[in-house]
Amino acid sequence: MYGYCRRILTCTLLAVSWIAIGSTTAAEVPDPPALSSPTGGQFALDRYAGRPLLVNFWATWCLPCRIEMPDLDELQSHFDAEQFTVLGVAADDMVAVIDYLETLPVDYPIYAGDPDEVFAWSEQLGNRVLGLPFSALLDRSGTVRWVKMGGRIEVNEMLPLVEALLAQNSSEGARE
């Protein structure tokens, strides 16, 4: 009986972790909150229209978020920013973000906003547990195609997903 219960519990945990970590969705992106860049610019989602976008929610106080930032930077380096963009959205104070980016600069755009509003936006994109890090992969039409809650995004994990979206975009463009 113990072995049976253990197998049921293991299967349940695996199923729940698969749903929480990565799943395909088809949700339209809701309007983002007011976000600012460390240089003072304001965020405009339409600036990234027409390309796949990985929106990564993070905070300076979140160790797993900080650990995955070099991987996200490497992922961005595989693509022209006009083709695909990693976008960091910090649920944090801008001063803390600026201080942190001085120690670990990244080559992808970073924005920050009111934590409550940032978490609300991440929830609308699929962050059901309101944890960090959380990432949502959007296709060029702004539809959420994949989400990941917690854990570390690995470049080898993301490359095929992004390349598939780019290939899909290319084939759709050829038919239009």
CB count, 10 Å around CB of 86?
28
Per-residue pLDDT tens over the stretch 2-44:
443 343 333 333 333 333 444 444 556 788 999 999 999 999 9
Task: State the sign of the Cα–Cα–Cα–Cα dihedral 15, 86, 74, 82.
Answer: positive
Number of domains observed in the structure of the chain: 1
CA distances from residue 52 to 42, 68, 83, 87, 91 in whole angstroms, order as listed: 20, 20, 7, 11, 22
Measured on CA atoms in the order 168, 174, 175, 176, is the torsion positive or negative? positive
Asked if residue 15 is part of any domain, the answer here is no
- Determine, yes or no, domain membership for 44: yes
Say if residues 139 and 165 touch (Cβ distance below 8 Å): yes
Enter the pTM of the model.
0.81
Angle, helices 63-77 vs 155-175, to 10°: value is 50
Is 8 among the domain residues? no
Q: What is the mean pLDDT of the chain?
A: 85
CATH of the domain at 89: 3.40.30.10
- The residue with greater pLDDT, 174 or 125, is 125
Residue 13 domain flag: no
Domain range for 52 is: 23-175
Domain membership flag for residue 151: yes
Give the tens place of pLDDT for each residue, 96-112.
999 999 999 999 999 99
| 113: in domain | yes
The 8-class DSSP code of residue 142 comes to: S
Q: Does the residue 73 lie in any domain?
A: yes
17: in domain: no
